[in-house]
Amino acid sequence: MFWNYLIVALRNLLRNRVYTYVNVIGLGIGMGCCVMIMLFVQDELKYDRFHENADRIYRVLWQGKTGKNVWLLPVCSARVGEELARYPDVAQIVRLNRDARGVRLGNVYVREEQFFYVENSFFDVFTVQFIAGSAETALNNPDAVVITDEVAKKYFGSDAPLGKTLALSDGSLLTVTGVVKGFPPQSHFRFDFLASINAFVPYQFARNKWGEAITYTYVLLQENVNPSQIEARLQKHVDSLNLEGQPSYSFEPITDIYLHSRATRFALSPHGSAATVYTFALVGGIILLLACMNFINLTTAQMRQRMREIGMRKVLGADRTSLITQFLLETFGYVIVAAIFAMMFCELGMSIVNDLSGKKLSEEVLLSRQGITLFASTAFFVVVAAGVYPAFILSGLQPVQVLFGHLKLRMRGGMQRGCLIVFQFTISIFLIIATLVVDAQLKYAQQKKLGFDKEHLLAVHVQRQIGRIAYALRDRLADLPESIAVSFASAIPGQTISAMAITPEQPALERESSLLFARADEYYVDVLDLHIIEGRNFAPLSFPSDSTAFLINQAAVQAIGWKGDAIGKRIGISGELKTINGPVIGIVENFHIESLYKPIQPLVIPFLRGPSPYILIRFKPGTVADQIAAVQRVWSKIVPDYPFKYSFVDEDIEQLYASERRTGKVFQAFAAVAIFIACLGLYGLSFYIGEQKKKEIAVRKVLGCSEGGIVGLILKDIAKLIVVSFLIAAPISYYAMGRWLAEFAYQIDLSPWSFLLAGMMAMTIGMVTVSWQAIAAARTNPVDTLKNQ
């Protein structure tokens, strides 16, 4: 009996080839998209779960206030770790810092960004696999370093790295004492080098100061310990110290850092977005659901063609269970072929997914246990979701009504198919609107005046080991014919900017507060093309006292609470190697040094008394390659042993919105897939309408109705459904995109043109899809139709 069902199922698949092709393509694309999206979602949800004790590892966060602004940072004082180590419920703590270093490779120094200084307890808190060396003794000496296996191949080739020496650009030598496997990509930070934190000079300087938030601190709790109890004990101790700024501390689970952390400033790597992950998962499910709806639409649209077959089988003794089994087998056949098509679709589409998501998912994951499980569960869902409803509907037909032609398709079935089309186009229109809004916001961010000129602005990254040679470097760069102005700066637009505690004269704020700060020299204003609205710029040659002077922006004046003239009022600043107290000599017009997510923050610009992390160069308009080559020639002559690294400020600013650009591209891809699947559904509905109205069309043609009139009759029904879809999608889109735009401090207004354009696009696509089927129905010979009635 089973083989009979299988043969009949295959026969029906081959007999209705057009429907088979449409069903296979629709289900295949739906299943393929769903599987790829779920692979992405699973990858995002796996972050930091590879640690054996991931459920007991927490990161310590520091929180402080500046007026109404709340600062939440992932760094804190080194003293916090020492205090936590005293608690019996704390199994282990580890403090770490990242500091890019130049490491000699051959005759040059290579800038290594993932160079960490850590305590030896790093290997107790985190799960690290040693290939060579011992975790217990690897970092006992201050000149020791542990490297990953990839770094070992890079610097030592096939030689055994243990005991070998690495030379740093500051002249220090480190001995390799361990080789380990690096963290997998699903980690909120990754390392290449692990050196002893005892060799990190800034840490040694600040380790005993509660006011210096410079280290990342992680804590491993004992089993079955409530972290809130440890937080409360730590906070009680901190409050008893009566520290300036009244800081507070909290614990953040390591598994929450990547997707849920609110401490994004000074993050060790870009964070993901939980909202994006959940949205992707929802859209993946919706796309699969749309494909299933299409299958249901097309299957029930064929109902007329299957009625006599069903009636004959019932007369010959087939019960409802056997008919349901047959229809489910047919669905299973569709799904098997669709799954093969989906596999090929995933092979081709994985590179697109990687491009959109920024990940490196390989095609091999499709054949892994994870991929096969996803395919199997998706296929099972499709068989149940798409096969059960048509099977029960068709198997419930009465044989007498079917065989004698008394069965009339009820309006409810047509309404159900119409509702499915409305749902599909509602999703499609929503995705089109979302795509248009995201694109408009990104264009707004690109075109908005930032308060400075971001074009032709190059930032050269300078290692502090270069020391005072940087002055000669700056002067030589300023002499280039391509340059307009050159400046030292500790912070540049598009990069993370630090906050520092300040004590203003006659403050409206009650206590010491933290404001953004960017140290700069007298050329900074000219390089960025800033506007000084009160006072003057730094002029150390004319005014030697400017070495302790400040520029501030308008937001800082407002935050501090100064009324009237702020020029001449004094600011004290702490947290550097030397405390500064000096006058405000100029007020700069507000400018965006951070992304448009945030309103312009209060900014203090103390005079830069020495070399800095960046040299900013303002170029004349010209060939970019020639300008970079000119800078590199100067660099090679003055500091040939140090790696040359640069970035353009406008590109750094663009990078702030990389996640939004990916989101926009993803919405475009989702919208295209949803529209394609919806069009397949329209094909099924247009065929159904054509079959249902076959007699009416024939009569109208006999009475003289033109083909255009017939086409309009069919298109009218489809147009109504698309209009209903638009009326549903518009308010949903307005609410959802309004919530998304609310994340930006500076945003576009939702334009009605975006909504109208989305509706027009959906209507045009729908009409084009249905037109060819409508034209075919209009051209049918009425004689052939009426003689069979």
Q: For residue 407, is pLDDT > 60? A: no
Whether 653 is in a domain gets the answer no
Q: Which of 473-477, 559-563, 587-591 has the highest mean predicted lDDT (pLDDT)? A: 587-591
Amino acid at 698: A
Q: How many domains does the chain have?
A: 4
Q: Is residue 19 part of a domain?
A: yes
pLDDT in tens, 414-451: 566 678 788 888 888 988 898 888 888 888 887 888 88
- Binned at pLDDT 50, 70 and 90, residue 577 comes out as very low
Is 654 a member of any domain? Answer: no
Q: Is residue 51 part of a domain?
A: no
Residue 13: what pLDDT?
A: 63
Report which DSSP code applies to 124: H
DSSP per-residue letters across 260-311:
H-S--TT-SS----HHHHHHHHHHHHHHHHHHHHHHHHHHHHTHHHHHHHHH
List the domain range (segments joined by +) for residue 609. 464-642
Q: Is the pLDDT of residue 650 over 90?
A: no
Q: In this model, does residue 677 exceed pLDDT 70?
A: yes
Question: Which pLDDT belongs to residue 292?
Answer: 81
pLDDT at 239 over 90: no
Asked if residue 183 is part of any domain, the answer here is yes
Instruction: Give the confidence band of 411 by pLDDT, cuts at 50, 70, 90.
Output: very low
Strands 144-148 and 193-196 come out as antiparallel
One DSSP character per residue, 126-159 reads: S---EEEE-TTTTTSSTTEEEEEHHHHHHHHTTS
Residue 647 lies in a domain: no
Q: Are residues 9 and 66 in the same domain?
A: no
Nearest to 673 by CA among 16, 36, 20: 36
Residues 468 and 395 in one domain: no
515 φ, ψ to 5°? -125, 160
Whether residues 425 and 524 share a domain: the answer is no
- Same domain flag for 30 and 106: no
Residues 722, 783: one domain?
A: yes
List Cβ<8 Å contacts ≥24 apart for 372-381.
Answer: 374/35, 374/38, 374/39, 375/31, 375/35, 375/339, 375/342, 375/343, 378/31, 378/34, 378/35, 378/38, 378/288, 378/339, 379/31, 379/335, 379/336, 379/339, 381/288
pLDDT reported for residue 317: 66
Instruction: Tell whether 159 is covered by a domain.
Output: yes
Between CA 252 and CA 692 the distance in angstroms is: 62
Residue 662 DSSP class: H
Q: Are residues 526 and 597 in the same domain?
A: yes
Closest CA to 118 of 138, 132, 101, 104: 138
- Residues 6 or more apart in contact with residue 117 via CB below 8 angstroms: 96, 97, 98, 99, 194, 195, 196, 197, 199, 200, 203
Smallest CA-to-CA distance from 449 within 741, 746, 743 is with 746
Q: Is the pLDDT of residue 99 over 80?
A: yes
Three-class DSSP category at 707: helix
- pTM comes to 0.79
In sequence order, which residues have a C-beta less than 8 Å from that of residue 263 and are 6 or more positions away? 61, 72, 73, 74, 252
End-of-domain residue from the set 259, 292, 325: 259
Looking at residue 8, its pLDDT comes to 62
**Alpha-carbon distance 463 to 615, whole Å?**
11
Co-location of 76 and 201 in the same domain: yes
Looking from the CA of 154 toward its CB, the CA atoms found within 13 Å total: 14
Residue 288 in tokens: 């699969």
* End-of-domain residue from the set 373, 407, 441: 407
Question: In terms of domains, do 665 and 788 share one?
Answer: yes
Residue 495 shares a structural domain with residue 632: yes
CB-based burial, 633-656: b 16+ in 10 Å, e otherwise? ebbeebbeebbbeebbbbebbbeb
Half-sphere exposure (CA, 13 Å, Cβ side) for 707?
11
Q: Ranked by mean pLDDT, which of 210-214, 306-310, 710-714, 742-746 comes out on top?
A: 742-746
The closest alpha carbon to 178, from 159, 156, 194, 155, belongs to 194
Task: Please give the mean pLDDT across all residues of the chain.
Answer: 81
Q: 387: how many CB neighbours lie within 10 A of its CB?
A: 23
Specify the range with the lowest mean pLDDT, choosing from 275-279, 317-321, 666-670.
317-321
Residues 391 and 437 in one domain: no
Report the range of poorest mean pLDDT among 93-97, 468-472, 737-741: 468-472
Per the model's pLDDT, the better-predicted residue between 243 and 223 turns out to be 223
- 3-class secondary structure, 406: coil
* Maximum average pLDDT range among 43-47, 189-193, 282-286: 189-193
Range in 70-84, 522-536, 661-675 the model is least confident about: 661-675
The predicted model gives 571-592 an average pLDDT of 78
**638 and 787 belong to one structural domain:** no
Tell me the average pLDDT across 707-734.
85
What is the model's pLDDT at position 93? 95
Least confident residue range of 150-154, 245-249, 555-559, 574-578: 574-578
Q: Using the structure block, give the residue that is written with the tokens 């207004």.
A: 749
Share of the chain above pLDDT 90, in %: 23
Residue type for position 656: L
pLDDT given for residue 530 in this prediction: 92
Q: Which residues of 542-565 are buried (b: 16+ CB within 10 A; e: fewer)?
A: eeeebebbbbbbbbbbebbebeee
Q: Given 607, 642, 677, which residue is the final one in a domain?
A: 642
The residue-averaged pLDDT of 356-365 equals 70
465: amino acid identity, one letter:
Q
173-180/165-167 β-pairing: antiparallel
Q: Is residue 594 part of a domain?
A: yes
Co-location of 619 and 687 in the same domain: no
Higher pLDDT, 276 or 68: 276
Which pLDDT score, from 0 to 100, does residue 245 have?
A: 64
